[in-house]
Amino acid sequence: MKKVFESPKSLTKDPFTYCPGCHHGIAHRLVAEALDEFGVREKTIGVCPVGCSVFAYVFFDCDMICAAHGRAPAVATGIKRAKPDSIVFTYQGDGDLASIGTAEIVHTANRGENITVIFINNAIYGMTGGQMAPTTLVGQVTQTSPYGRDPKTMGYPIKVAEMLSTLKGVAYISRVALSKPAYILKAKKAIRKAFQSQIEGKGFSLVEILSTCPTNWGLSPIEANKWLEENMIPYYPLGEFKTPEEVS
Amino acid sequence: MEEKMLMKGNEAIGEAAIRAGCHFYFGYPITPQSELTAYMAKKLLKMKDAVFVQAESEIAAINMVYGAASTGVRAMTSSSSPGISLKQEGISYIACAELPCVIVNMQRGGPGLGSIQPGQADYFQATKGGGHGDYHLIVLAPSSVQELVDLTMDAFDLADKYTNPAMILGDGLIGQMMEAVEFKERKKINLPDKEGWTLTGCKGREKKYIVPFNLDPYEMEKLNLKIQEKYNKLKEKEVRYETVNLDNADLIIVAYGIVARIAKTVMSNAKKEGINIGLIRPITLFPFPEKIIAETSEKVNKFLVVEMSMGQMVEDVKLAVNGKAEVNFYGRVGGVIPTQSEILTEIKKYLK
C-alpha cells in the first residue's frame, strides 16, 4: 500500500496542546513540512515566543530556543549571525510581534537579517485570556476593550505585512489565512517561498498568518473560521506584499 | 613578552575581549562607554567570521547576545547604567538559560538619566541579581586599565566555566582614563566542553532546546537549586580581593574600583600624619570576599566603607563584620568623585 500522508519529520510525536479549532496546529505543520521538503531540519534553529506558542519548542523536532516576550527577532539575529549556515525562524503571535516586540521586528527587517518570521495574527492575546492586541479589529470586544475597540483611544489595528514591506531590506512578505483548504495550500506556498528566500540568502522574510482563537473569541471552531473570513480578511487583505524579485 | 601600550580603558576592554576570543559584539551607544562600541566596530567589521551589530536598543543587544551565546560562541555587550537597566530582562533569561556571556557596565551617576560622570550606584543591581528572579552574575570590579584587560579575559573564562553571565563593573573614570597596558600571555586553562548544550542544528543527534521557564513549580524550583549550587561553588572557589597593610591598622577602608585607587593615596598621606590605614579591595563583588572581612574584623575594630553611592556595598561589609567591629560609611554620588583629603577628614572623625 502506498503511503500518501504522514506526519512531518520536523514535528515531534507530541500531541498539540492548542485549543480545538485554533490554527496553531495547522501553521506548525506547514512550517514543519517546508523544513522537511527543503531538507533543512538538521540545520534549523527555531525561536519560540512568549504566548500560546511558547510550547512550540515541544512540537518542532529541531533545535529550539525560547525568547523573552517580543525579543525573538533579536535572539534570531544573534543566532543567525553566529551561525550563518543555519536556517533560523521565529514563530510569534500578534502581542509578541506587533506590540511589545515592534522595535525588534522593525529593525531586524530593516537590517535585512536573513531569517524567516512566522507571524500569527489572531487579533487577540490568547494565553493571557483574551485581551486586546494591536491587531484587534475596530469594535471587537476583548477583556480590555469590553465595549469594543475604540480607535479614538485605542488606535487602529496595525497592518504588519504592509508596514514592513516598505523596508528595503525585506525580501519576502505575504499574508495568508488557514480557514479553508484553498487558503492552506496558498499558505504552504508562501511559507515555502519565505524559507526559500532565506536558503538563497535573499534577506528577511515574513509570512503573516490570519488565525482563529475560538476560545477567546467565544465562538465555535466553525464560527471562528467564518468570523475570520468575514471580518479579518476584508481588513487584512491576503496576498504577497513583497517578493525577492523586487529586492534585486 | 608583549610591549606596553597606552590605551583608554574602554578600548582596552575591547582589545582584551577580542584577544579572549570574543568575536561577537552587540551594542548600543551610551556615554561613558561608547569608545568600546566604536572599538569593536572598527576591529570586528574587518575580521573574518566576526560580528558587530549596532542594535536598535539595549534590549535588542542583550537578546542578540542570548541568541549568539546559545550557539556556543563568546559574545559580549556593554553599556552604562541606564542602558544596563534596560538589559535586565535579557540578563535574567540568560542566567536562567545558563548561558555564558560578558556584560560590561561602565557606571555613571544615577538614578534616572543621572549624569555622565562616574558612579558606583549600580552595585545592588549588579551583585544582587538586577532582573527578576533568584540569580547572580559573576561580578568583577577592576581598578586600573591593566586590570580591565586582565579581568575582561578572566570574565570570559569564568562565564564559560560556570555557564553564567559575567559582568565587568567599572565606572566612567576607568573607562575614560588612559594607562599603560600589557596583554600578557595567558596560561591555557581547561574549560568545560560546550557541546552538551549548544544549539547547532540537530544533525546526527536528538534535538536540543533552551527554554528559560518551566510551568511545573517543582521542576522550576529544581532549576533554581541547580543554579544556586553554582553560586555556592563560586563563593567557595572564585573569591578575589587585594589587601594592603591589614596588620596593625587603626582603621580598614573597604573600597572597590577607582575608589580603592583613591584610598591608596589616602593611606600614604595618612601614614605621614602617623595614622595607620589598611585596605581591603574586593575584586570579585559577587562572590563577595566576606571571609577576609570577617577575619579582619576580629583584629581591627574600625571600618570605613567608601563608595560612589549612598551606601550599597557597605551592607555586604556589615553582614560580613556581623557586629564585631564598627562599620562606617562615606560616599559621594551623582557623578562626584570623593577626594583623598575629604576621605582622610572622614577617617579622622572615627579615630578621635
Identify the residue whose cell numbers are 574600625: B302
Q: What are phi and psi of B341, to 5 degrees?
A: -70, -35
User: Residue A71 falls within a domain, yes or no?
Assistant: yes
Q: Is B50 on the interface with A (CB under 8 A)?
A: no
The whole-chain average pLDDT of chain A stands at 96
Q: Distance (Å, rounded) from C-alpha B297 to C-alpha B318?
A: 10
The helix or strand, by DSSP H or E, that contains position A195, with its residue range, turns out to be: helix A181-199
For residue A227, which amino acid is it? W
Give me the number of domains chain A comprises.
Answer: 1
| B5-199+225-237 CATH | 3.40.50.970
CA distances B247 to B276, B298, B299, Å, are 9, 12, 8
**Which grid cell sits at A151?**
480607535
pLDDT of residue B316: 98
pLDDT of residue B1: 55
Report the chain B residue with the minimal C-alpha distance to residue A64.
Answer: B209
User: Residue A6 falls within a domain, yes or no?
Assistant: no
In terms of phi and psi (left: phi > 0; alpha: psi -120 to 50; beta: otherwise), the region of B90 is: alpha
Taking contacts as CB-CB distances below 8 angstroms, the residues of chain B near A57 are 209, 211
Q: Could you report the per-residue pLDDT of A18-45, keeping only the tens digit for each? A: 999 999 999 999 999 999 999 999 999 9
User: Residue A18 falls within a domain, yes or no?
Assistant: no
User: Is B59–A74 a contact, with Cβ atoms under 8 angstroms apart?
Assistant: yes
Given a cut of 70, is residue A248 above it in pLDDT? Answer: no
Residue A137's SS3 state is coil
Taking contacts as CB-CB distances below 8 angstroms, the residues of chain B near A38 are none
User: Is A77–B202 a contact, with Cβ atoms under 8 angstroms apart?
Assistant: no
Mean pLDDT is lowest, of A4-8, B114-118, B204-208, B286-290, for: A4-8
Q: Could you report the per-residue pLDDT of B217-260, keeping only the tens digit for each? A: 999 999 999 999 999 999 999 999 999 999 989 999 999 999 99
Q: Which residues contact A185 (CB under 8 A, 6 or more apart)?
A: none
A-B interface: how many C-beta pairs under 8 angstroms?
133
Taking contacts as CB-CB distances below 8 angstroms, the residues of chain B near A74 are 55, 59-61, 63-64, 66-67
Name the minimum distance, in Å, from the CA of A193 to any CA of chain B: 21
Q: ω into residue B111 within 30 of 0, thus cis?
A: yes
Taking contacts as CB-CB distances below 8 angstroms, the residues of chain B near A106 are 56
Beta bridge partners of B243: B280
Give the strand order in the sheet containing B277-282: B241-244, B277-282, B251-254, B302-307, B326-331
User: Residue A64 falls within a domain, yes or no?
Assistant: yes
Given a cut of 80, is residue A247 above it in pLDDT? Answer: no
Mean pLDDT along residues A71-85: 98
| Option in A45, A62, A68 nearest B90 (CB) | A68
Q: Distance (Å, rounded) from C-alpha B4 to C-alpha B184?
A: 10
Taking contacts as CB-CB distances below 8 angstroms, the residues of chain A near B198 are none
DSSP secondary structure letter of residue A99: I
pLDDT of residue B3: 81
For residue B73, which amino acid is it? V
Beta bridge partners of B171: B107
pLDDT of residue B248: 87
Taking contacts as CB-CB distances below 8 angstroms, the residues of chain B near A80 are 67
Question: Which of A237, A200, A219, A10 has its CA nearest to residue A114?
Answer: A200
Q: Could you report the per-residue pLDDT of B173-189, keeping only the tens digit for each? A: 999 999 999 999 888 89
Given a cut of 60, is residue A246 above it in pLDDT? Answer: no
Question: Which of A50, B272, B267, B49 has its CA nearest to residue B280?
Answer: B267
Taking contacts as CB-CB distances below 8 angstroms, the residues of chain A near B88 are none
| Option in B60, B204, B213 nearest A104 (CB) | B60
| Option in A64, A107, A111 nearest B209 (CB) | A64
Mean pLDDT along residues B107-117: 97
pLDDT of residue B185: 87
pLDDT of residue B75: 98
Tally of CB atoms within 10 A around B286: 25
Report the chain B residue with the minimal C-alpha distance to residue A82.
Answer: B68
User: Is B203–A86 a contact, with Cβ atoms under 8 angstroms apart?
Assistant: no
Domains in chain B: boundaries: 5-199+225-237, 241-350
**Which grid cell sits at B286?**
559577587
Mean pLDDT along residues B19-33: 97
Intra-chain end-to-end CA distance of chain A, in Å: 47
Q: Distance (Å, rounded) from C-alpha A189 to C-alpha A193?
A: 6
DSSP string, B220-272: HHHHHHHHHHHHHHHHHH---EEEES-TT-SEEEE--THHHHHHHHHHHHHHH
Give the confidence band of B352 by pLDDT, cuts at 50, 70, 90: confident
Mutation target for A interface from B23, B48, B71, B89: give the one with most A CBs within 10 A.
B71
Q: Is B66 on the interface with A (CB under 8 A)?
A: yes
Q: Are B14 and B43 in contact (CB under 8 A)?
A: yes
Residue B36's SS3 state is helix
DSSP string, A6-45: ---TTB-SSPP-SPTT-SHHHHHHHHHHHHHHHT-GGGEE
pLDDT of residue A244: 82
- Chain A residues contacting B, CB < 8 Å? 12, 41-45, 47-48, 54, 57, 60-68, 71, 74-83, 86-87, 103-104, 106-107, 111
Long-range contacts for B45-49 (Cβ within 8 Å, ≥24 apart)?
Answer: B47/B18, B47/B23, B49/B23
Mutation target for A interface from B63, B98, B215: give the one with most A CBs within 10 A.
B63
Identify the residue whose cell numbers are 566555566: B161
Burial class, A102, CB count within 10 angstroms (exposed 0-12 / middle 13-18 / buried 19+): middle
Secondary-structure percent of chain B, ordered helix, strand, coil, rounded to 5? 40, 20, 40
Given a cut of 90, is residue B307 above it in pLDDT? Answer: yes
Q: Are B330 and B314 in contact (CB under 8 A)?
A: no
Q: What is the pTM of this model?
A: 0.97
CB interface of B with A, residues 177-206, below 8 Å = 199-204
Taking contacts as CB-CB distances below 8 angstroms, the residues of chain A near B202 are 41-42, 61-63
In terms of phi and psi (left: phi > 0; alpha: psi -120 to 50; beta: otherwise), the region of B130 is: left
User: Is A104–B208 a contact, with Cβ atoms under 8 angstroms apart?
Assistant: no
Please, what CATH class does the domain formed by B241-350 belong to? alpha beta
Q: What are phi and psi of B133, to 5 degrees?
A: 90, 170
Taking contacts as CB-CB distances below 8 angstroms, the residues of chain A near B210 are 64-66
Q: Distance (Å, rounded) from C-alpha B33 to C-alpha B107?
A: 9
Q: Is the dihedral of CA A198, A200, A201, A206 positive or negative?
A: negative
User: Is B90–A107 a contact, with Cβ atoms under 8 angstroms apart?
Assistant: no
CA distances B323 to B253, B255, B277, B291, B300, Å, are 17, 19, 20, 14, 12
Residue ranges making up the domain that contains A167: 24-246
Q: What are phi and psi of B309, to 5 degrees?
A: -155, 180
Q: Distance (Å, rounded) from C-alpha A120 to C-alpha A26?
A: 11
Q: What is the CATH number of the domain that holds A126?
A: 3.40.50.970
| Option in B66, B200, B213 nearest A75 (CB) | B66
Q: Could you report the per-residue pLDDT of A40-70, keeping only the tens digit for each? A: 999 999 999 999 999 999 999 999 999 999 9
Q: Distance (Å, rounded) from C-alpha A88 to C-alpha A68?
A: 17
For residue A53, which amino acid is it? S
User: Residue A8 falls within a domain, yes or no?
Assistant: no
DSSP secondary structure letter of residue B51: E
pLDDT of residue A21: 97
User: Is A67–B66 a contact, with Cβ atoms under 8 angstroms apart?
Assistant: yes
pLDDT of residue A148: 98
pLDDT of residue B255: 98
The whole-chain average pLDDT of chain B stands at 97
